A and B are shown apart, each in its own frame.
Chain A
Amino acid sequence: MKQMRPYASGAIAIALGTVIFVLPFVFIALQAVKSKSEASRLDFTLPEKWLLWDNLAAVFKARDYQLVLAYFNSTLITVVSVTILILFSAMVGYVMQRRRTRWNAVASGALFMGLMMPPAVVPTIGLLQDIGLFKTITGMILIQVAYNLSFSTLLYRSFISTIPRDLDEAALIDGARAWQIFFRVILPLLKPVTVTNIVVQSIAIFNDFTNPLYYLPGKENVTVQLTLYNFQSMYTSQYNLLFMNILLVTVPPLIVFIFFNRQIVAGMTAGAVKG
């Protein structure tokens, strides 16, 4: 009997884990393929009629193809801000790790504040209005860069300490200029942490709801998380479409997760433990 205990506890753990962590996702998928009246019962049954394509089409067509526009906006914001983030934070992490000056203390303080402190939203809106970037995709991109710089820089700074300085010196002796050392020698060597940064930051920015809610109002600027938020009030009687929308918004992170599982895990732990 005693030998059976590890197996029994294992089986219980798997059963519980499945119920707690899988059931909500199965629930989302089930509601998404039901008819309107069936989904309104909110129960956990298989649909009588599978309406995957009908619901999919209905969600995409809603409000003049708003979801298509939202996917475009979200993708644009994510791709551009992650690209800028990678470049800026790698540069900062590199110089912070390599050169000891009094600016390091300032930069470290700024990083710490950026990780900890909530942004002052209304003054930021006022400022964005003054410089003409409120309600613009450009403004949103710059906000995402500013808010996520600290985390990316920390990842780069700790990784750069593992690259030997001999490489910089060798390049210097070969006559490379400062920017050439960075862009030709160092940046290619940062690839593993760059991948981590890309994955972690794209998911964070794609999933962001609060910042677009504040800085990007207006239906021409809608992002995928905002469509979900708008549909929540619009579709209270059409749960099938609401859940189809949730399903569609969950698909991109799911794909990223399947392909980059290991990098996400490595990046999350590295960033978290050192932060």
Chain B
Amino acid sequence: MTETRLRSRKSPYPLWFFLPAAAVYGVLFVVPTVSSFWFSLTRWDLSTAEFTGLENFRQFFSEPFLIKALVNTLIYALTTSGLKTICGLLLAVLLSGNIFARGFLRTLVFFPVLVSAIGIGITFSVMMHPTKGIINVMLATLAIPGPGWLTNPALALFSVALVDLWKGVGLATLIFIAGLAAISPDYYEAARIDGATRSQQFWRITLPLVRPATITVITLSLIGGLRSFDLIWAMTRGGPGFSSDVIASVIYKQYQAGFYGLSTAGNVILFALIATIILPLTLWLNRRGAEQ
């Protein structure tokens, strides 16, 4: 009797189910994140930390190559995110239409998403070799002088961004295909009866109605772009010089060099950058979506 009463009072959804996940996440993600704000204010050798105030940040913002990494991070994130959104949408429209070998093409575009960034990075850095790489050899047969994709400081960051597009566009395409499939064909039929052209249908029907997918693609690829490390590291190591360094590669370099406080300050700057870009963007995009 008492047991039944007790059991009926207790929720069948016990809060202790949160505990295992919270323990791992709390210790290995939350604690380091919170303590990083403290360690970023210190000169630190992993055992003793000497408080130096904002010295690390002062150093970060006074070194030209660190400022360059900050700017590169923004350029890289905006370039990859913009390209993935545009190419992903175009590919999705193409691969949702009545096209020959549709399933095969979808598979083709998606497969690079699954391959490791390191493998892809090495492969493309070989294919982008200035004289021997097949990209420039093929361009040469068309009488186009190929550039030094990864050796030209003005170009290296964009070459990596192109490879990032190649690797990641499949995911964007997939999300857009899912978004396009949710649009009712009735809209297109009505538009056709009213005599709308295909480009009118795209701008007036497809683009507004695929909005949730667009928001997802932009947000995901921006976050990925701001944090990206492995492809850049595999292809250029931040070089030539510091021309393709981003915050994530600076964090690694400072860590390798033993400047743990400065490395952690880089991390805090990356947090701040992501928070100031993604939070307002998410709120703004979702509010505009709700108004419509």
Contacts and interface: CB of A to CB of B under 8 A. Distances in A.
Given A27-B123, A114-B29, A119-B32, A209 B116 contact: yes
Contact of B114 (A203, A209, A232): A203
If over half of A's interface residues share one DSSP class (helix, strand or loop), that class is named, otherwise mixed; here it is helix
A269 to B, nearest CB: 4
Interface stretch (B77-85, B97-105, B183-191): B97-105
B155 to A, nearest CB: 19
Contact of A122 (B223, B267, B275): B267
Contacts of B101: 10, 14
A207 B264 CA distance: 25
Contacts, number: 240
Nearest to B270: A118
B258 to A, nearest CB: 10
Interface of B is mostly: helix
B174 A268 contact: yes
A50 interface: no
A127 B28 contact: yes
Contact of A265 (B110, B133, B223, B251): B110
Interface stretch (A51-59, A174-182, A188-196): A174-182
Contacts of B213: 273
B39 A122 contact: yes
Contacts of A124: 28, 32
Interface of B: 7, 10-15, 17-18, 20-22, 24-25, 27-33, 35-36, 39, 44, 46, 94, 98-101, 105, 107-120, 122-124, 126-127, 129, 132-134, 137, 166, 171, 174-175, 177-179, 212-213, 216, 220, 223, 227, 229-230, 234, 248, 251-252, 255, 260, 263-264, 267-268, 270-271, 274-275, 278
**Among all A-B residue pairs, the 5 with the closest Cβ atoms:** A120-B36, A99-B13, A123-B32, A146-B28, A207-B116
Interface of A: 6-7, 10-11, 13-14, 17-18, 20-25, 27-28, 31, 41-44, 87-89, 91-92, 94-95, 98-99, 101, 103, 107, 110, 113-127, 129, 142-143, 145-147, 149, 153, 168, 172, 177-179, 181-182, 203, 206-207, 209-210, 213-214, 225, 228-229, 232, 239, 242-243, 246, 249-250, 253-254, 256-257, 261, 264-265, 268-269, 272-273, 275
